[in-house]
Amino acid sequence: MTEKTSIVVTSIFSPNTALKLLAKGAVKNGWDFVIVGDSKSPADFALEGARFYSLDEQRRLDFKLASICPVKHYTRKNIGYLIAIRDGASVIVETDDDNFPEDPFWEPRTKQLAATHLHTKGWLNIYSYFSKSGVWPRGLPIEKILDAPSVQEKRENERRDFPIQQGLADRNPDVDAIFRMTRPLPLDFDKRSEALSLSNGAWSPFNSQNTTWFKESFPLLYLPSYCSFRMTDIWRSFVAQRVAWECGWNIVFHNATVYQERNEHNLLRDFEQEVPGYLLNDKIREILANAPLRNGTANIAENLRICYRLLVEHNVITSAEELKLLDAWLDDVARVVN
């Protein structure tokens, strides 16, 4: 049976060039394209090749999460994931409304990849394997930027399943405000002959700008709401990779297949939103590394609950209301997954 691929984006803007290119490519390649709006989205949003859901339309959906998910927040994207899952997606490709797809973006997504496996423990700057410029990814602890961990590279002899795959973004890559205020951009990454995967115990942030999720990993898509806007996808990535290890999965990173022409940002405001990450990311690693998770894919939902419960208890996630959102998400996913 042919796998159904869905693109999921959230946007508060009228259809721009990036969204139009995504819609055109979705039609050409037979992909579904779901756009979820928020309170600032234009009431007359319409884009051929995409299905747009306004805030009112989202609330009328038969999802527990739709009525309680915060507004004016990037985590409305969770509703887009649920729509894609409900409608039969077996692959979800997520990106943002300022990322422009390049030709390789539209290549069929394959769960099995050949990869070079990076064996280490602790934090790893994955960008350093794609560029010698000194660039680091948003979410890497600021105190670890200059560290050079001991890493053993081993090429896998056989293709393996990678249910979560992170693609990079050229031109204006996903870096933090400190980088943007102190280093030159644009920047394009080098092209590698094959992807890189991280061993259990090797930690790297990954984002929501160019990420592919296969069906078995769908519960891990959940974006937390009770944290800063600039940390929601980063902290999700830490939880996702910790739970993934219990499933026998490793996160894989591959060449850029999009380039970003970044929407207007206030860099000092971005910095303010990133401060919780600078202060807490290594603490999160330690909390999650010691979390008493259970082995196997059957335990994904309970492992997620354990991780977020610990983050709430340690005041990383700022409200216990997060656990109600997570329960609603897990109930919705369990009910609509095909």
- Whether residue 34 is contained in a domain is answered as no
Residues of the chain with pLDDT under 70: 1, 157
- pLDDT for the residue numbered 338: 78
- pLDDT for the residue numbered 157: 66
- Whether residue 191 is contained in a domain is answered as yes
Question: DSSP character for 248?
Answer: T
- Whether residue 240 is contained in a domain is answered as yes
- Whether residue 189 is contained in a domain is answered as yes
CB 61 within 8 A of CB 84: no
- pLDDT for the residue numbered 154: 85
DSSP string, 96-109: -TTEEEPGGGGSPP
Domain count, the chain: 1
| Residue whose C-alpha is closest to residue 209's, from 239, 245, 165, 265 | 165
Query: Model pTM?
Result: 0.97
Asked if omega into 219 is within 30° of 0 (cis), the reply is no
C-alpha distances out from residue 323 to 34, 155, 294, Å: 26, 40, 19
Span 224-242, pLDDT tens digits:
999 999 999 999 999 999 9
- Whether residue 18 is contained in a domain is answered as no
- Whether residue 80 is contained in a domain is answered as no
Domain that holds residue 183: 95-336
| Pairwise CA distance, residues 260 & 170, whole Å | 6
Span 50-97, pLDDT tens digits:
999 999 999 999 999 999 999 999 999 999 999 999 999 999 999 999
- Whether residue 47 is contained in a domain is answered as no
C-alpha distances out from residue 174 to 37, 171, 179, Å: 22, 10, 10
- pLDDT for the residue numbered 169: 98
- Whether residue 69 is contained in a domain is answered as no
